Structure formats: structure tokens, C-alpha cells
Structure 1
Amino acid sequence: MKSLTPDRFLQSQGFGSRKECQKLVLAGLFSFEGEIIVDLKRELNPLNQSEVGLEFSIGGHTYFFREKVYLALNKPSGYECSASPQHHLSVFDLLPDYLVNRGIQSAGRLDQNTTGLLLLSDDGEFIHHMTSPKHHIHKTYEVGTRDPITQDQKNLLLNGVQLRGEPGPDKALEVKILGEFLMEMKIDQGKYHQVRRMIAATGNFCETLRRTAEGNLNLESLELNSGQWTFLDKYNFHDK
């Protein structure tokens, strides 16, 4: 990556327009690797040998330069995966402004009543990879049902159920019955309300839905409470 002037450096990290970032620098609020920088023409090389770049601070708050950001969020119920929500809060309200200012997007969506693992990034190629049907990203859900789960319903999900408007049956990769009203279900597609529709096609009803894993990432290992988020290294992510 080429060197950046202080204002372009801060702008790339989501700290405002170029003019706003120039004011931060001239006010002596920006330091890079422990050195206060006030020269707007100073050339800074933000990356070291890893994906996470060198340390900088704004007003005493420390950050690390990231050319692209990759986030995992444990989405709570009642939040929409939209920057312009219609009826609920936005998942972007759970993130700091400087990340939202970078133009991050969610890699796919969870409806407002669905909770669990949600990936976000400002890397367009990553978003496309995660949302393109041809990549068959594995996603695991914990499903709470209205009626008791039967072996016949499990078999239907594994063998494939026909959803309205779809050309052919959709099947689960794995189904585990965890309790009378609780199952774990893995799919490799991301159609609109797919899990809820598949459960309905078996004659049951999905009361609660929580995504517990996507690719090789899972909420248990990430140790995120509801509403919490963390940075990810994209090179540690695998589709299955």
C-alpha cells in the first residue's frame, strides 16, 4: 500500500471528511506510532507485515490501521440489518461511528427477530463471496419450534422440502434434534427466510431462530454476548 498524508490516513479509517481530518491533525490530536503529527504533508506508511497495521491515536484513544475491516457481531433481536431501518433499530447502531463511516455492510441479512452471528465488512469482494450462492457458505442455526419436532420432520428437512416460488426442493445439510422443541440445522444457501420457510414446509412453525455459525466461525469460540462485536482476520475464515 502506498504512503498516505495524515488527513487521507484518518479519512480512510472513518474519522470524517478530509477537511475534518485536517482539523484533527492541526489541533495536535493525531499521533502515529507514538509521535504527534501536525505536518499535513508528512507521508505515513500505515501497514507493517501483518493485515493489521501500525498503531495511531486520536485524542488519546488508540486504534490500529486497517486497510479493510472484517467484523463479527452477535446480533440481538429487534435490530434490522439496514443502515436505514423502517421499524426497528439498526445493527449499525451497535458499532462505533468511525466503522460505520467506512461504509461497512452486512454479509447477508438476518431479519429483525433472528439473532446470532452476523458478519460485516467494507471489503466488497468479501461481501460478494459471502453472499454469492455459488460459494455454498455453510450456516448453522438453532431453531426453536412451536410444536414438538418429529423424526419425520427431520427426514423431510434432510431429503428436501419444496418452497413456494422455488424451482426445486431445498434440503438441510445436517439436522440434530436437541430437545422436544429445539433443533440445530445446517444449510449452504441463503434464500429469503429460508430456515423459517423450510420448517413451515414440514408442518411445524419456527418460534425462535439463532445463527450459531457461519463457515468455520461460531459464536461459542468468538465468546460474544448479545450486542457485542469483534474484529476478524479474513484469512482465518473458511467457507465450511
Structure 2
Amino acid sequence: MHLEKILQSQGFGSRKQCRQLIEDGKVTINGEVCRNPKASFETQHSDEQPLEFAVAGKSWQYREKVYLALNKPQGYECSHQPQHHPSVFSLLPAQFIERGVQCVGRLDQDTTGLLILTDDGAFLQALTHPKKHVAKRYLVTTNRPIADEQIEQLKQGVALRNEQGVYAADDCLQLAENQLVLTIHQGLYHQVKRMIAAVGNHVDALHREQIGQFKLPDDLAEGEWIYLNDEQVTLARQLA
């Protein structure tokens, strides 16, 4: 693949902008400056190692698609056009936004925790389809002490305003007087908050710990992101 096309596919701008980066000597391959936009390189080596390159001194690895995990802080909106708070996309390199990375499901601005992002449209659509019933696990802190009967109601199912049927927690475990772990597989608007309200309590803090079998890494700090490794991508694909 031509170098200018490689850079464009990785989110470094239009073909013209990528060509200019190369001609300005800002792109290196294997430690050597390449000024030829039409120079051809294999994006995947025979040993299955992806092409590595640097732009303006920062190293990158060619990725046909990107799969990311972000530990979302409070006060960020999962939107490219936020209304009242900063966008979670401001926490990512501009190259990801350029190549069309999207959130796999959203979290409210005041909800923290695991957020998966990708530019793989088919994967995103599969994982967010209502029929997939992917489990999502939340740590819930409530305003008032949690009663045993509230736990039982959540397990049995509660009615939500303007929704048909009842919505039950797949799992509900009390951890402390005002804290529980709640797992759901639907994705209704403000669902956890509405379920807690339906049993006569109120959510003070909400943190997503897990999607399917993929858990938020313990060492991933708030506001930080990582690429999913091959094993994690495989696990994420299984969710879809």
C-alpha cells in the first residue's frame, strides 16, 4: 500500500495532508525518513507483525480496525457533538476521531467506567443490536439504604414508565448498606437509574465494571484508554 494511503487510513488527514506530512520529512519507517508518498509498504509482515511507523516523532502501529477500552470519568458525554459537558472523544488522539471511532453503547455524563470504542461498523452494530442481550454489570451506590425487598423486586422485575413489560436484573448482589452490583442485558435510556427509582431508591453514583465477559482492567486509570490486545479483541468479538 502507498505510504500516503496508509497514513490516511490511520486517521492522519486527507490524502493531500498525508502527502504533505511525508514530503516534509515527518514520517519515518524503520527509523528512516521516507519522503516519497507513493512508496509501497506491506501493512502486515510475513511474521504477522503489523507495520510500525512514526509521524512527527510519535510511534504508531498499522491497525486495519481499532478496538479501544476507555475508563470513562464523570462529566463527559458520549457524543461527537456534546451539549453541556466535554466529549469522551476529547480524551482520545485526534487520529481516532478522524478515522470514525464510535462508542459501543453510551454512558450518561455522570456514569463512569468501561466504555468500548471502535471504527469497525459491523462489530459496533452487532454488539449494540437489541437481540444480542449482552450483559452489562454496574456498581451502584444508592442515596438510601438498600432493603432486602428492593433486591427481591429488582430480581423479579419492575415496570418502567413508557416501557412495555417488566425489567429484571440478571443478577443483583448487595455489597454494603448503600451499594450493590447489578447486571442487566437490555440497554434502555437511564435503565439502571429508572429501575432503582422504581423500587423506591435513588442512584447517587453509577460505575460500569463489565460488558459480557470483558472486565474493565484494574490498572486502567480514569480518563485513560488502551488498545484491546488480540485476546481481548477475540473476547469482544464473541460478545457480538
Q: In which range does the TM-score fall when normalised by the shorter chain?
A: over 0.9
The structure 2 residue matched to 1:86, chosen from 83, 88, 92, is 83
Distance in 2 (alpha carbons) for counterparts of 1:49 and 1:89: 42
The aligned counterpart of 2:234 is 235
Q: Which moved more, 1:112-121 or 1:30-39?
A: 30-39
Q: Does 1:226 align with 2:222?
A: yes
* Partner SS state of residue 185, structure 1: strand
Deviation at 1:236, TM superposition (A): 3.0
Partner of 1:189: 186
Distance 1:55 1:145 in 2: 47
What residue in structure 2 maps to residue 98 of structure 1?
Answer: 95
Which residue, 128, 133, 145 being the options, matches 2:130?
133
Count of aligned pairs: 236
**Which of 52-61 and 173-182 deviates more?**
52-61
Contact 1:138 1:239 in 2 (8 A): no
What residue number does 1:143 align with? 140
User: Which whole-Å CA distance do the structure 2 matches of 1:12 and 1:199 have between them?
Assistant: 44
Gaps of 5+ in 1: none
Deviation at 1:34, TM superposition (A): 3.2
> Which residue of 168, 176, 181 maps to 1:179?
176
Q: Write the distance in 2 (CA, Å) between the matches of 1:196 and 1:34.
A: 52
Equivalent residues in 2 for 1:157-172, closer than 5 Å: 157-172=154-169
Q: Which runs of 4+ in 1 moved over 4 A?
A: 49-52
Amino acid at match of 1:223: D
Q: Equivalent of 1:153, from 150, 154, 179?
A: 150
Deviations 1:220-239 (A, max 9, x none): x3521111110014213243
Q: For residues 151 and 50 of structure 1, what CA distance do their matches in structure 2 show?
A: 57
Q: CA RMSD in A?
A: 1.6
My pick for the range that moved more, 76-85 or 96-105, is: 96-105
Structure 2, gaps ≥5 residues long: none
Secondary structure in 2 aligned to 1:80? coil
